[in-house]
Structure 1
Amino acid sequence: MVRFDEFWTKKALIGLGIGQFVSLLITSTGFTSSELARKGINAPTSQSFLNYVLLAIVYGSIVIYRRKPLQMKWYYYLILAFVDVEGNFLVVKAYQYTSLTSVMLLDCWTIPSVILLTWIFLKTKYRMKKFAGAAICVAGLVLVVFSDVHASDRAGGSSPIKGDTLVIFGAMLYAVANVSEVR
């Protein structure tokens, strides 16, 4: 049995705090993207540019400070960056066509995609509980898509199916980028 003081270490609390901060940033980005799309502003690349600049500055500084060589060839990182940027572009673009709730829920398609890709390419062993959890996730996502199909009488965006499709493809690209980083 894990004791309470062993579980809530300083490292765990810092990780929890950083995770909550990142979650706040992601939610803020989603809300801002949704509001910009509602006002007719179409700039998905510009919206994500600052995120990638900050990521390059922070992560680049850490890599330079540690003075360790890259683990792979530089062009491999360029391909991963391209896949990630395209996935982010598709997800941010989807806000123009569907609701904030649909984008946030369908973005979770990354989870079953990562499970499938790691199972196929990295030969990761999963138990049935994980597959059952992923199946429940997929069932929920299917319900979101069906809800958007019948959302013509509600305010959900100009083309919910197009938006849902963009999010699903963007989430798949996120999964490809995440699994490829491990490879």
Structure 2
Amino acid sequence: MGGWEWLRSKKTVAGLVLGQFVSILITSTGFSSSQLSQRGINAPTSQSFLNYFLLAIFYGSILVHRRRWLQKKWFYYVMLAIVDVEANYLVVKAYQYTSFTSVMLLDCCTIPFVIFLTWMFLKTKYGYRKFAGVAICIAGLVLVVFSDVHSSDRAGGPNPVKGDLLVIAGSMLYAVSNVTEEFIVKEGSRVELMAMLGFFGALISACQISILERNELKSVRWTTGAVLPFVGFALAMFLFYSTVPVILKICGSAMLNLSLLTSDMWAVLIRIFAYHQKVDWMYFLAFAAVAAGLFIYSGVFKEDKTQSTSNEQYDKERNGEVGIDNSVVRSHTATGSFYM
């Protein structure tokens, strides 16, 4: 059994690949949101509504066709939808009060929250190598923050304290949402989860839009330049939400959130090759650090094989995870925030 035996694990490789797929999706949603913001469209709940509506239609149709009773109580999905919708709203709202750098750094709070919740409620076991992988990933993101501060992002925002508190609150809600989804998808049906989250998420978003964003939507001129980013955002989020349960089942919440840290790195590559912009050298060092952290976190090393037979059986039941608990991410976003 070699030290890098994990490379032969199809689930591990699949988790890493899918993690980067959702990370790219989060990057695309960030660019779509920036395009909408440049056109004066500030309606984050409305953007989420279309995603939830697509989830409800697509997965709801499959659920109705199967003609099965719900495996989980409906009010669990209501609570999950409330948490998910408000997590998205809080983090997007924070951009009005604090800097991009602060949001990026504080959004990492999702990872320790996820680790604590999975340890407390899902009884996930963590080894020293897992914590080392998490620490290296976060260190990589901190390098990105330093790079932003070193270059241009020096603005603190009109009310940094309020903005930072909103990000922390949103990160906590993301953690609750991710861990709840992980529990449901490992104990129940992925199709049922997406259908119910989409249905109740769309319902809650519609109510929130009528209260907070109705006037904003009335003032929008729906030209092609506004419609395309809006639809593109919704489609990317639909794919993100559809892929997240698969990652949760394979790797768990923590691995998902760690994967979403690379979304900023993909944004850098887009800036380099699509917009021909120059970036600070720290970005490349940060990308290498995050990648190394992901490999260490997802690795199954020889030392880990010294566990007792009972622990090995427990880990197999947890989809082969030794100390793995997902995050969002996303979303991504999760991660990371879904609107980063």
Q: TM-score, length-normalised on structure 1?
A: 0.70
The aligned residue for residue 93 of structure 1 is 93
Compare relative contact order (CA 8 Å, sep 6+) and give the higher one, 1 or 2: 2
Summarize the Cα distance change of 1:50–1:176 in structure 2 as closer, same or farther, 3 Å threshold: same
1:170 aligns with 170
Partner of 1:179: 179
How much does 1:179 deviate?
1.6
**AA at the equivalent of 1:57:** I
Instruction: State the alpha-carbon separation in 1 of the partners of residues 135 and 64 from structure 2.
Output: 42
Q: Structure 1 residue 104: deviation in Å?
A: 4.0
Give the drift of 1:156: 5.2
Q: Larger deviation: 51-60 or 70-79?
A: 51-60
Structure 1 residues 47 and 163, CA gap change in structure 2 (3 angstroms): farther
Aligned length: 178
Report the alpha carbon displacement of residue 66 of structure 1 after superposing the two structures with TM: 4.1
Deviation at 1:147, TM superposition (A): 10
Q: In the alignment, residue 95 of structure 1 is paired with which amino acid?
A: Y
Query: In structure 2, what is the Cα distance between the partners aligned to 1:67 and 1:45?
Result: 31
**Bigger shift: residues 116-125 or 60-69:** 60-69
Once residues 38 and 30 of structure 2 are traced to their aligned partners in structure 1, the CA distance between those partners, rounded to angstroms, is: 12
Is the alpha carbon distance of 1:57 and 1:156 closer, same or farther for their aligned partners in structure 2, counting shifts above 3 Å?
A: farther
CA RMSD of aligned residues (A): 4.1
Q: Secondary structure at the match of 2:47?
A: helix
Q: Is the 8 A contact 2:104 2:145 kept in 1?
A: no
Q: 1:136 to 1:168 in 2, by over 3 A?
A: farther
Q: TM-score, normalised by structure 2?
A: 0.42
Deviation at 1:85, TM superposition (A): 0.6
- Structure with larger Rg: 2
CA pair 94-33 structure 1, distance change in 2 beyond 3 A: farther
Change (3 A) 1:127 1:21: closer
Equivalent residue number for residue 45 of structure 2:
45
Letter in 1 for 2:172: M
Q: 5+ unaligned residues in a row in structure 2: which ranges?
A: 185-340
Aligned-pair CA distance for 1:137? 5.9
Identity between Structure 1 and Structure 2 (%): 70
Partner residue, 2:244? none
Alignment CA distance shift 1:36-1:120 (3 Å)? same
Structure 1 residue runs without a partner (length 5+): none
Partner of 1:82: 82
Partner of 1:111: helix, strand, or coil? helix
